[in-house]
Amino acid sequence: LRRDDARVPHGARRSSGSLTYRSEDELVAQLREIVEAQPANRRLLNRIGDDAALWQPSRSHRAVITTDALIESRHFRRDTMSFHDIGWRAMAANLSDLAAMGSRPVLATVALGIPDGLNAPDLAELYRGMLAVGKRYACAIAGGDTTRASELVISITAVGEVRPSNVKGRAGALPGDVLAVTGPLGASRAGLDLADNPYMLAPYLAQAALRAHRTPEPRVNEGRWLAASTNVHAMMDVSDGLSTDLPRMCAASRCAAVIEDVPVADCAREVAHARGEDPQAYALAGGEDFELLIAVNVRAFRHLSERFTKRFGRSLHRVGHVRKGSGVTIVRGGAEEALESTGWDPFR
Amino acid sequence: LRRDDARVPHGARRSSGSLTYRSEDELVAQLREIVEAQPANRRLLNRIGDDAALWQPSRSHRAVITTDALIESRHFRRDTMSFHDIGWRAMAANLSDLAAMGSRPVLATVALGIPDGLNAPDLAELYRGMLAVGKRYACAIAGGDTTRASELVISITAVGEVRPSNVKGRAGALPGDVLAVTGPLGASRAGLDLADNPYMLAPYLAQAALRAHRTPEPRVNEGRWLAASTNVHAMMDVSDGLSTDLPRMCAASRCAAVIEDVPVADCAREVAHARGEDPQAYALAGGEDFELLIAVNVRAFRHLSERFTKRFGRSLHRVGHVRKGSGVTIVRGGAEEALESTGWDPFR
């Protein structure tokens, strides 16, 4: 899980050690600079920045490749999650990146670092969790690498395929576009908070929160469907929280965004209330929901939304709109405020 | 590096903890059983076991995907290798797996776990090392993931392409085949041992050993060339040492092998002498040489070998032959002995 270090105050700059990155984005920008000094490769159609890399195995095919590492001390706690669920989440994070590119999953490879004390049944459960969510979306595990490590490391790389005409990315949002997400936010965060205080919620809400946290559903079918629409201009997943990921879409698209309303999951609203926090702020900062964020042609949004609901039995939630400029603001009490990035960042 | 835990006596069974695998092969066999319970995927052409997975993006294309994780406490020491060289080795290990499948590298993704205290210049050097060897073989870095971790973790996944007719694997060796490697063995191990005792060798031999250890050359061009020959029946890299990898080829091919002679690198011979060890045994156990092991039609070997030398300016070294049965034996003093697996195993 990506938010278990929420004890680090948001916005605090690391002071110890000599790692001087203020954020993951800053680090990625530096690595991107080094990598992009490589000679261009005509088969490689994008570079670091999108949820996944895009390449061209042949003229009529596009393959998408993504990688995501979960590290025990940072992303999950064995005391609050089963090995099955740790495996599920690790695979789901990769499938969500494939979904964000509008692609159909094909296969995944798994590199495991295995600490002392992890036994064979635990490892089998970890694999069963990965396979369980992989199977839903026809993503096979094709191989991998195993080695010892001082903490549990799960590094998954997943490959998908997408029709050339369906390729989206973060960079296509246009001024005027409607911003929408494929589901209410904050449920995974609520499930995490629930681990420390299980009696905060009524049982049916607790169940929803824990399910969202432990066995989140990547929006693979929704992503493929949305990618097929020319009215969807940009797409990404909000795995680090809307307050972190929307600014990334804006930066990639060189435009600004206004958040009008944040759809909050019922369980997240209750947990926020119990903690005396603002539900919208709580949901904005909540990562790992694996919902998709899209920028849609304003004239097509209503029709697309109706068709989406008919197809998937769930709604597209309008969160705001795109405009010229840069930065993200949020409407609060009728006035616009600058958005603070409160989502998950491994380097903060 | 894969042999830094050589202090663990070879063959010793782990007694502490509850991880009960005797070897990496045993663990992989268990995971393979779980994974192969998946419904068959007609686009996925092999499963766990070869150096890389093979899939079919379209009828006329085959893609190869491999993943390899390096973990600080297990695979390398920052005090004996620069970050540049750590990056080089990590990428070279993946390129070697692509070479073993006879494929042309296309791209790689990099997942990094970054410990406290690693600074920006170190990380840049790590990337430059990866890019330096990647560039030689036109393998671009296409993206990745970065997160914090308690030790340095470098997990690389690389993708290559191979003509359907050129696909080799470990499983094709036939009784009667000649076994050969693309270069003498043990140099990387000699470079590792040199780190602890730098004055063991004459400078020119020391340089060769350190180069083999720090910036090994994956046999990408050799692998593609050999894969194009129908007389090459099986191919793999010997990254865990011939004494570990040859039994794997035999098991996959359901046949036996006899080692007649082990080609020992000059620097490895000197280090073995200095340590009072048998040079052939030293080279047999030396991992990370990244040479390729092939099984070749006996009638074609001489001609193939001559063409290989003409093409690459280096020799194919005959190490033995394949026969019916199971297990690997080695000829010593005119008599055959059973081979002990002395190569690197992360679980021993």
Each residue's pLDDT tens digit, B294-341: 999 999 999 999 999 999 999 999 999 999 999 999 998 889 999 876
**Edge-to-edge strand list for the sheet holding A153-162:** A53-58, A61-71, A153-162, A104-114, A140-148
> Which residues of B fall within a CB distance of 8 Å from A142?
44, 47-48, 53, 55, 65
Any idea which residue has 């590119």 for tokens?
A101
Q: Which of A295, A330, A336 is nearest to A316 (CA)?
A: A295
Residue of A21, A27, A35 best to disrupt the B interface, most CBs of B under 10 A: A35
Instruction: Nearest by CB to B67, from A19, A47, A109: name it.
Output: A109
Q: B234 CA to chain A: closest CA distance, Å?
A: 19
Q: B149 CA to chain A: closest CA distance, Å?
A: 6
What integer pLDDT is reported at residue B116 of this predicted model?
85
What integer pLDDT is reported at residue A6 of this predicted model?
29
Pairing of strands B327-332, B256-259: parallel
DSSP B345: -
**Are A117 and B43 inside 8 Å of each other by CB?**
no
DSSP B166: G
Q: Which of A342, A288, A271, A286 is nearest to A75 (CA)?
A: A288
Q: What is the ipTM of this complex?
A: 0.81
> Which residues of A fall within a CB distance of 8 Å from B39?
135
- Can you read off the two tokens belonging to residue B103? 């494929």
Instruction: Nearest by CB to A153, from B52, B134, B153: name it.
Output: B153
What integer pLDDT is reported at residue B1 of this predicted model?
28
What integer pLDDT is reported at residue A347 of this predicted model?
58
**Are B18 and A117 inside 8 Å of each other by CB?**
yes
Dump the DSSP string for A15-49. -SSS---SSHHHHHHHHHHHHHTSPP-TTB---BT
Given a cut of 60, whether residue B6 has pLDDT beyond it is: no
Determine the residue of chain A that is closest to B31 in CA distance. A124
> CB pairs below 8 Å between A and B: how many?
261
Determine the residue of chain B that is closest to A43 in CA distance. B106
What integer pLDDT is reported at residue A216 of this predicted model?
95
- Residues B45-51, mean pLDDT to the nearest whole number: 61
Determine the residue of chain A that is closest to B94 in CA distance. A145
- Can you read off the two tokens belonging to residue B279? 């040079």
> Which residues of A fall within a CB distance of 8 Å from B140?
38, 41, 44
Segment among A14-23, B70-79, B173-182, B337-346 with least mean pLDDT: A14-23
H/E stretch holding B1 reads none
**Are B146 and A114 inside 8 Å of each other by CB?**
no
Rounded to 5 degrees, φ, ψ at A302 are: -60, -45
**Are B65 and A157 inside 8 Å of each other by CB?**
yes
The whole-angstrom separation of Cα B17 and Cα B77 is: 24
What integer pLDDT is reported at residue A133 of this predicted model?
96
> Which residues of B fall within a CB distance of 8 Å from A344?
none
CA–centroid distance for B288 within its chain: 6
Instruction: Nearest by CB to A35, from B66, B141, B149: name it.
Output: B141
Instruction: Nearest by CB to B118, from A19, A60, A73: name it.
Output: A19
Instruction: Nearest by CB to A67, from B118, B145, B346: name it.
Output: B145
Determine the residue of chain A that is closest to B18 in CA distance. A117
DSSP B44: B
Contact B232, B155 (CB under 8 A): no
**Are B114 and A157 inside 8 Å of each other by CB?**
no
Number of residues assigned to chain A: 348
Q: Please list the ranges in chain A whose pLDDT falls under 50.
A: 1-19
Given a cut of 60, whether residue B114 has pLDDT beyond it is: yes
Contact A114, A89 (CB under 8 A): no
The whole-angstrom separation of Cα B125 and Cα B81 is: 12
**CB crowding A135-168: b at 16 or more within 10 Å, else e:** ebbebbbbbbbbbbbbbbbbbbbbbbbbeeebbb
> Which residues of A fall within a CB distance of 8 Å from B147?
24, 69, 71, 74-75, 346
- Residues B253-259, mean pLDDT to the nearest whole number: 96
Each residue's pLDDT tens digit, B14-47: 333 344 556 667 777 777 777 777 766 666 666 5
What integer pLDDT is reported at residue A339 of this predicted model?
87
Summary mean pLDDT of chain B? 86
H/E stretch holding B135 reads helix B120-136
Percentage of chain B exceeding pLDDT 90:
60
- Residues B59-64, mean pLDDT to the nearest whole number: 85
What integer pLDDT is reported at residue B7 of this predicted model?
29
Determine the residue of chain B that is closest to A148 in CA distance. B346
CA–centroid distance for A139 within its chain: 18
**Quick check: helix, strand or coil at residue B263?**
coil
pTM over 0.80: yes
Summary mean pLDDT of chain A? 86
Instruction: Nearest by CB to A17, from B61, B117, B128: name it.
Output: B117
Sign of the CA dihedral with A35 first, then A37, A38, and A42 last: positive
> Which residues of A fall within a CB distance of 8 Å from B19?
114, 116-120
Residue of B64, B71, B130 best to disrupt the A interface, most CBs of A under 10 A: B71
Q: Is B51 exposed, middle or buried (0-12, 13-18, 19+ CB in 10 A)?
A: buried
Contact B68, B81 (CB under 8 A): no
Determine the residue of chain A that is closest to B60 in CA distance. A58
